[in-house]
Chains A and B, each alone.
Chain A
Amino acid sequence: MHPILSRLSRLALYFLAWIPLAALLAYLLSATGGLSRREALSISLPLCLFYAFVCLSAWYSCRALPSGRTAFGKLLEVHVAAALVASGFWILCAELLAYIFTEMAIYPGLTGRLSRTLPILLGTGVILYLFSISFYYVLLAVEASREAEARAMEARVFARDAELRALKAQVNPHFLFNSLNSISALTTSDAAKAREMCVLLGDFLRRTLGLGEKSTIPLEEEMSLIHAFLAVEKIRFGSRFRMEENIAKEALAMDVPPLLLQPLVENAFTHGISNLVEGGWVRLDARCQNGLLSIVVENTFDPDAPPRRQRNGMGLLNVRQRLEARYADRATFNVRTQGDRFSVSLTLPAEREGRAT
């Protein structure tokens, strides 16, 4: 799109800008060619109007030869040649005008006087054309930097969105494989229980996949997802774990990002309870205070457990990143290890359906 032609208001402004130039040209003509003020203006005004149009075309040659990607020598060559051609047209136009004025006997002898000003006219034409070239290059540069900024911004937003989607859609594959293995064991020993576990696992997966689409859910819904998860783990770990919940009633209605707490509970299993021969416990506390929802997930673990040969703490990192991305400094996230207890505390704004309480 041509930056000036595309809008009428800009075009009007552009032509207005040429009026002082026409005045200046008129002054030059009368000073060097001895033209009267009226004669000079009669020539310079239509001449500038015509040249304003000619210079509009400079945009296209600028766009065809971007300054950054074309050798400077070539740029100079092409544009100076174009300027000379344009200027040639403008001299022709001036001569034609003078001829018409002379022939029509409006300004007798004008052609003769104008011919003395031809070198000045040629120079001015070249300079004006080159000036509009540089003007367009500046415009192009501004536009390019604005576009780059917009693209970078878009890329950032897109990357964050993609990351959040990926984080939310995450189901630990090892949880799945181990659960399937348990089902495989139960098929022969306890078919009814195998079916029950299939249903529980299906329920958990369906909820997980469905929640990934939502931006926030009430804590109560997240808790029921955790219960679905625990029901599966109960079959795998038997009596090796105990879950304690201590959730204030008003906290249940508060909004939380979906799948914020479930990874923490899962973490308590993979890094805590699964390493305890005698079994262990997970406790989840949630309450509202001073406009904040504070949640603590605590579990027992074996400080002497074999070091995980897998990347550690991805679940924790994800939760932290999601809190940061969504709430910035309005949320906190703390991890603490004390003896055989591991706890994650987090606070986030207590909101209900997007409104602060």
Chain B
Amino acid sequence: MNSRKDAKIRAVIVDDEELARQVIRELLAPHPEIEIVGECANGFEAVKIVTETKPDLIFLDIQMPKLDGFEVLELIGTGSAIVFVTAYDSYAIRAFEVHAVDYLLKPFGAERFEAALERAKERLDSKSPSSAVPAAELAATARPPAQYLERIPVRDGAQVFIIPVSKLDFAEAQDDYVALSTEGKKHLKQQPISSLEAALDPSRFLRIHRSYIVNLERVAKVEPYGKDSHVAVLRNGVQLPVSRAGYARLRAFLDR
């Protein structure tokens, strides 16, 4: 049973209710192979603690202040095994879509908890990263259909920023990242631009180029540029290239 004699499993407990954390603490007490390296009560703290301690295992609540469990996961990536702990049964499918190890429904007993712990250990022992797909992309695909992104959480080190999509001017693809431009500042987020595009409301955001998504409210004018390409000029003066396909989409939108 104890295959990790030398290295302890480092765990973090995230729940906004002290009593809920207490249950997990108690159920972990008979397991000397597991060390609790941090506890916190909201999403911001969770991202900070996980970034600093790089735990193997996270017990994660879903409904929390500041950031919910899925947003936290989006920001911390898939380096840790995740066990969701919640009173809501409606997120179970999405939890497994983001490769959670298990999904504990409150209230739960020792037996159920042990089973979750076993699964987590198996996952950690196999040492396979839970998925090669970035967490942000997983979280985006797991979003319920017909519900578009209203805010984008981004992380800079241990610090978290929330960008409401209404304040997003445009997004630019940069290798594995997207640079999100808002109020003159840029925030990098590890996510393919196509998955961001899919999560945004298509009546407010348009892919105008292989590498660019623009907030349509920010577009001041579209001008010809060179032989058969165009450029979109934003209200703040920034110019973005528009591909031929992007121009067609833009025209279709403006004609509507």
Interface set of A (CB-CB < 8 Å, partner B): 174, 177-178, 180-186, 188-189, 235-238, 274-277, 302, 304-310
Contacts and interface: CB of A to CB of B under 8 A. Distances in A.
Interface in B37-68: 41-43, 62-68
B65 A276 contact: yes
The majority secondary structure among interface residues of chain A is: helix
B90 interface: yes
A181 B63 CA distance: 15
The majority secondary structure among interface residues of chain B is: loop
24 contacts: A177-B87, A177-B107, A178-B106, A181-B17, A181-B19, A181-B23, A181-B106, A181-B107, A181-B108, A182-B20, A184-B107, A185-B22, A185-B23, A236-B17, A237-B17, A275-B65, A277-B41, A304-B162, A306-B68, A306-B71, A306-B151, A308-B63, A309-B144, A309-B147
Q: Interface range on chain B: under 10, 10 to 19, 20 to 34, or 35 or more? A: 20 to 34
Instruction: For the complex of A and B, list the 8 residue pairs with the smallest distance between their C-beta atoms, beginning with the closest.
Output: A177-B87, A181-B106, A185-B19, A306-B68, A181-B107, A182-B19, A180-B107, A185-B23
B18 interface: yes
Nearest to A182: B19
A309 B91 CA distance: 9
Given A178-B17, A182-B17, A188 B26 contact: yes
Contacts of B26: 185, 188-189
Contacts of A275: 64-66
A180 B106 contact: yes
B19 A236 contact: yes
Given A275-B65, A306-B68, 20 more contacts: A178-B20, A180-B107, A181-B20, A181-B106, A181-B107, A184-B107, A185-B23, A186-B19, A238-B18, A274-B65, A276-B65, A277-B65, A304-B162, A306-B151, A307-B151, A308-B63, A309-B62, A309-B90, A310-B88, A310-B90
Nearest to B24: A185
B150 interface: yes
Contact of B66 (A183, A184, A306): A306
Nearest to B71: A306
A302 B70 CA distance: 18
B223 to A, nearest CB: 37
B16 interface: yes
Given A188-B26, A237-B17, A310-B88, A302 B106 contact: no
B105 interface: yes
A275 B67 CA distance: 9
A186 to B, nearest CB: 7
